[in-house]
Amino acid sequence: MKMSVGNMYNYFSSKEELAKYAIKYSTRIVASELREVNNMKISSKEKIFIFTRRYFENVKKSPEIVEYFLRVYLSNREVFSNGCEGFLCVGDFVTEVMILLEEGATNQEFREQDFFTAFSMFMGALGGFAFLSGENVLEKDLLEYSDGIAENIYRALKYED
């Protein structure tokens, strides 16, 4: 960033404030991607496939953003306990996931289930795979797994007669 550590504190009153800003910043990037996909006139299944690919492209292009989410935000909850509780700092993205799931269920592409079980299928798969990518244990390029992961997410959510 070509900025001294001391200079950072001209903009952020503490490390915690910087950490909170960083998570809001990275969340908005992912939320913006999903909002764009949500606004497309396509099926919910196609939305899952497109968003999964875009998410993995972001992981490849800016791994530090997802790394920050996984290794700082999720692992240091005490840093975020004041003013960033619950969904407060990630609300933009959670809202878009809600819209994706609710519209899918309204159109009977997705089956009815509890929001959090559906949410975990979606975010668990994406987050978990980004973690594997960060650990460099994947045998193939990350994007080659995109459709497979999207298919798994879709099957976990899809409507059944």
Partner 1 sequence: MRTKPKVLWLQAVTCNGNTHSLLCANPNRLELFFNSFDLIYHPSLTTNSNLLDIINSKIKIDYLLIEGAITSNTKFFSIHNHSVKDLLAQLVLQSKFIISVGSCASYGGIHKKFELNKDISGVKKSIDKKVLQKLKHAVINLTGCPVHPEWILQTMFILKAQGKISLDEENRPIEIYSTLAHHGCTRNEYFEWKVESKTFGTKEGCLFYDQGCRGPMTKSSCNKILWNEVNSKTRAGVPCIGCTETDFPRENMLETKKHIGIPFETPLGISKRAYLSITGVAKTFRIDRLRTKLIPDE
When the beta carbons of 11 and 115 are compared against partner 1, the nearer one is 115
Binding map of partner 1 across residues 75-114, x = CB under 8 A, - = no contact: ----------xxxx--xx-xx--xx-xx-xxx---x-xxx
Cα 103–chain centre separation: 18
Phi, psi (rounded to 5 degrees) for 156? -70, -25
Give me the residues paired with residue 110 across strands: 158
Q: Please give the radius of gyration of the chain, using alpha carbons only, rounded to the nearest integer.
A: 17
When the beta carbons of 114 and 139 are compared against partner 1, the nearer one is 114
When the beta carbons of 114 and 161 are compared against partner 1, the nearer one is 114
The string over 36-59, giving b where at least 16 C-beta atoms fall within 10 Å of a residue's C-beta and e elsewhere, is ebbeeeeebbebbbbbbbbbbebb
**Residue 123 engages partner 1 in binding (rule: CB under 8 A):** no
Residues of this chain that bind partner 1 (CB under 8 A):
85-88, 91-92, 94-95, 98-99, 101-102, 104-106, 110, 112-116, 118
